């Protein structure tokens, strides 16, 4: 899919171009237009103009729900194209795109079409004596008004899933959207624009501008005074930069940021299930998912067995995908070297695989299991965002919680135990936004999704997304 901007209903490629490189073998896949400040301004202007029509008007929920369903149907109709585009950009296993990325994209739109009803919460008021002005009964109801122009800035790891996870509720609430996808993965964003164009949404309701972040399209968009809200997923440092850039306009933000997710494996756990789950949570998509585990804490009686079995599973992995770029590959390898320098024992991996084929020109790294580092080590405290975890023992429940919570991040955690009293005692004390017990990445799109501390601001999912992407308005009518 040739990457193009989509502005005010028109596909265009003006601006300088930059190469799109395959992470699988390092070959050039095509050229991507770099949006200039003028292109970004055109997109925001088009989005603003789209709000003067019926889109977003009160009572428009049924039409918007129908539009979201047409988008979902359009994604399904071009399913194979989306799979090809996502696999080409990311190098991920095809099965992942077929079972996760593209089904979730259509699912994101359907989830918010189903959720979207004009839900005036009605209540009758008993005036507060001495405080309410006037007397008698009043009818209160709440309506939701769209925010206006929403900037969506998305990352390269789950390009289609994560952009549509914001686009769907933003459109559901009647906003107009300007999407700036990652420069690493532009293709499915362009294809989505075609689907939305074919779904008949008014021109300007959805726009795409490609390009880089700092000092480029991402920064132009998030600092634009015409933007009414920013929904961003990416690194915590980038979130801080966007916050600074948007501060002058007091632009509201929804941030899904970095993580250093812990797993707590208690000795009473079903160790086979804990092992399977931890292999998935550490190495799915080569660790390039924000929910992936990078710190594993195992109760001491089963520590040696668990480390040995986890390392064996890591060594046996095959068919795993590459890092998204040479730069990210080098970052992950630098942490492998740093961990060694900090005294780690590398019980599996730690280097670059030799395939003996074209993949040797790509950006692969070995799935890696580390032990023996202090909790103060940089490899234990900093997000690596690759197929690597550090495993350490604990002796008590309180120690496990202290270790898990000793992090600047707080996104997601897994807890493995057969003792459900322990599960319900421990889970609420883990300082993350999401705690999976005896499972990982089991998702219900109505639940609150997001992180605490440096892992994010706000929650997405179900009503939580509607709360961010719309303004509730109280109407109080004297009876």
Ligand X SMILES: NC(=O)c1ccc[n+]([C@@H]2O[C@H](COP(=O)([O-])OP(=O)(O)OC[C@H]3O[C@@H](n4cnc5c(N)ncnc54)[C@H](O)[C@@H]3O)[C@@H](O)[C@H]2O)c1
Residues involved in catalysis: 256
Q: Which partner, ligand X, ligand 6OH, none, binds residue 74 by CB below 5 to 8 Å per kind?
A: none
Asked whether 8 and 203 are in contact (CB, 8 A), the reply is yes
Phi first, then psi: give them for residue 193, nearest 5 degrees.
-60, -40
- The pair of structure tokens assigned to 82 is 């989306």
Q: How far is the CB of 365 from ligand 6OH (least distance, A)?
A: 18
Q: Which partner, ligand 6OH, ligand X, none, binds residue 234 by CB below 5 to 8 Å per kind?
A: ligand X
Q: Which partner, ligand X, ligand 6OH, none, binds residue 456 by CB below 5 to 8 Å per kind?
A: ligand X
Q: Which partner, ligand X, ligand 6OH, none, binds residue 403 by CB below 5 to 8 Å per kind?
A: none
Number of other CB atoms surrounding residue 200 within 10 Å = 10
Question: Is the Cβ of residue 143 or residue 326 nearer to ligand X in the bound state?
Answer: 326
Q: Which partner, ligand 6OH, ligand X, none, binds residue 451 by CB below 5 to 8 Å per kind?
A: ligand X
Q: How far is the CB of 212 from ligand X (least distance, A)?
A: 5
247: contact with ligand X by CB under 6 A: no
Measured CA to CA in angstroms, residue 438 lies from 155, 215, 410, 414 at distances of: 28, 43, 19, 7
Instruction: Give the closest residue to 157 by CA, choosing from 189, 184, 191, 190.
Output: 184
101: contact with ligand X by CB under 6 A: no
Helix (H) / strand (E) element for 82: namely helix 79-90
Query: What angle (nearest 5°) sits at the alpha carbon of residue 436, between those of residues 433 and 439?
Result: 155
- The pair of structure tokens assigned to 459 is 């929650």
Q: How far is the CB of 52 from ligand 6OH (least distance, A)?
A: 32
Number of other CB atoms surrounding residue 71 within 10 Å = 27
Cα separation of 212 and 276, whole Å?
37
Asked whether 59 and 52 are in contact (CB, 8 A), the reply is no
Q: How far is the CB of 462 from ligand 6OH (least distance, A)?
A: 11
Asked whether 108 and 168 are in contact (CB, 8 A), the reply is yes
3 state DSSP class of 361 = helix
3 state DSSP class of 450 = coil
383: contact with ligand X by CB under 6 A: yes
Question: Is the Cβ of residue 153 or residue 347 nearer to ligand X in the bound state?
Answer: 153
Q: At what angle do helices 79-90 and 102-115 cross, to 10 degrees?
A: 120
Question: Is the Cβ of residue 82 or residue 303 nearer to ligand 6OH in the bound state?
Answer: 82
What number of chain residues touch ligand X (CB under 6 A)?
A: 31
3 state DSSP class of 186 = coil
222: contact with ligand X by CB under 6 A: yes
Question: Is the Cβ of residue 202 or residue 234 nearer to ligand X in the bound state?
Answer: 234
CB-based closest residue to ligand 6OH? 290
Q: Exposed, middle or buried: residue 27 (CB in 10 Å: 0-12, 13-18, 19+)?
A: exposed
Q: Which partner, ligand X, ligand 6OH, none, binds residue 268 by CB below 5 to 8 Å per kind?
A: none
240: contact with ligand X by CB under 6 A: no
Q: How far is the CB of 271 from ligand X (least distance, A)?
A: 28
**Positions in 149-188 near ligand X (CB under 6 A):** 153-157, 162, 180, 182-183
* C-alpha dihedral sign at 410, 414, 420, 426: negative
Q: Which partner, ligand 6OH, ligand X, none, binds residue 241 by CB below 5 to 8 Å per kind?
A: ligand X
Q: Which residue has the tokens 């009503």?
A: 463
Q: Which residues bind ligand 6OH (CB under 6 A)?
A: 157-158, 162, 165, 289-291, 443, 449
229: contact with ligand X by CB under 6 A: no
233: contact with ligand X by CB under 6 A: yes
Question: Is the Cβ of residue 297 or residue 449 nearer to ligand 6OH in the bound state?
Answer: 449
Question: Is the Cβ of residue 158 or residue 311 nearer to ligand 6OH in the bound state?
Answer: 158
Cα separation of 31 and 20, whole Å?
6
**Residues in the site for ligand X, rule: CB under 6 A?**
153-157, 162, 180, 182-183, 212-214, 218-219, 222, 233-235, 238, 241-242, 256-259, 290, 383, 385, 411, 451, 456
């Amino acid at each position: 899919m040739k990457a193009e901007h989509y502005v005010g209903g028109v596909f265009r490629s003006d601006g300088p171009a930059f190469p799109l490189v395959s992470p699988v073998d390092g070959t050039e896949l095509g050229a991507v237009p770099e949006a200039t400040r003028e292109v970004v301004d055109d997109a925001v202007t088009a989005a603003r103009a789209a709000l003067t029509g019926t889109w977003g008007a009160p009572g428009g929920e049924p039409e918007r729900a129908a539009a979201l369903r047409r988008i979902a149907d359009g994604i399904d109709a071009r399913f194979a194209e989306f799979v090809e585009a996502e696999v080409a950009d990311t190098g991920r296993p095809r099965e992942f795109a077929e079972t996760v990325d593209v089904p979730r994209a259509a699912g994101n739109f359907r989830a918010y079409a189903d959720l979207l009803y004009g839900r005036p919460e009605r209540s009758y008021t008993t005036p507060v004596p001495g405080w309410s002005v006037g007397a008698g009964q009043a009818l209160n109801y709440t309506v939701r008004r769209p925010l206006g122009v929403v900037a969506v800035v998305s990352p390269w790891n789950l390009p289609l899933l994560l952009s549509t996870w914001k686009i769907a509720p933003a459109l559901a609430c009647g906003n107009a959207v300007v999407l700036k996808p990652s420069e690493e993965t532009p293709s499915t964003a362009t294809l989505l624009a075609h689907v939305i164009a074919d779904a008949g949404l008014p021109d300007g309701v959805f726009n795409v501008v490609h390009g880089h972040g700092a000092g480029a399209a991402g920064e132009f968009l998030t600092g634009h005074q015409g933007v009414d809200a920013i929904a961003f997923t990416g690194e915590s440092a980038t979130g801080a930069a966007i916050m600074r850039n948007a501060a002058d306009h007091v632009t509201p933000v929804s941030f899904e940021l970095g993580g250093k997710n812990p797993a707590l494996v208690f000795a009473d756990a079903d160790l086979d299930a804990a092992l399977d789950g931890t292999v998935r949570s550490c190495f799915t998509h080569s660790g390039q998912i924000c929910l992936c585990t990078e710190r594993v804490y195992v109760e001491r009686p089963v520590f040696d067995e668990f480390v040995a079995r986890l390392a064996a599973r890591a060594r046996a992995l095959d068919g795993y995908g590459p890092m998204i770029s040479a730069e990210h590959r080098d970052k992950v390898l630098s942490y492998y070297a740093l961990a060694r320098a900090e005294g780690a024992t590398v019980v599996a991996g730690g280097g670059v695989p030799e395939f003996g084929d074209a993949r040797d020109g790509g950006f692969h790294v070995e799935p890696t299991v580390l032990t023996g580092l202090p909790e103060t080590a940089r490899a234990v405290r900093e997000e690596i965002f690759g197929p690597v975890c550090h495993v350490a023992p604990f002796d008590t429940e309180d120690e496990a919680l202290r270790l898990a919570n000793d992090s600047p991040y707080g996104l997601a955690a897994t807890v493995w135990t057969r003792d459900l009293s322990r599960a319900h005692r421990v889970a609420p004390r883990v300082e993350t936004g999401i705690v999976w017990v005896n499972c990982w990445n089991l998702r219900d799109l109505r639940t609150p999704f997001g992180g605490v501390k440096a892992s994010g601001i706000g929650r997405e999912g179900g009503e939580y997304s509607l709360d961010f992407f719309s303004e509730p308005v109280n109407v109080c009518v004297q009876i």
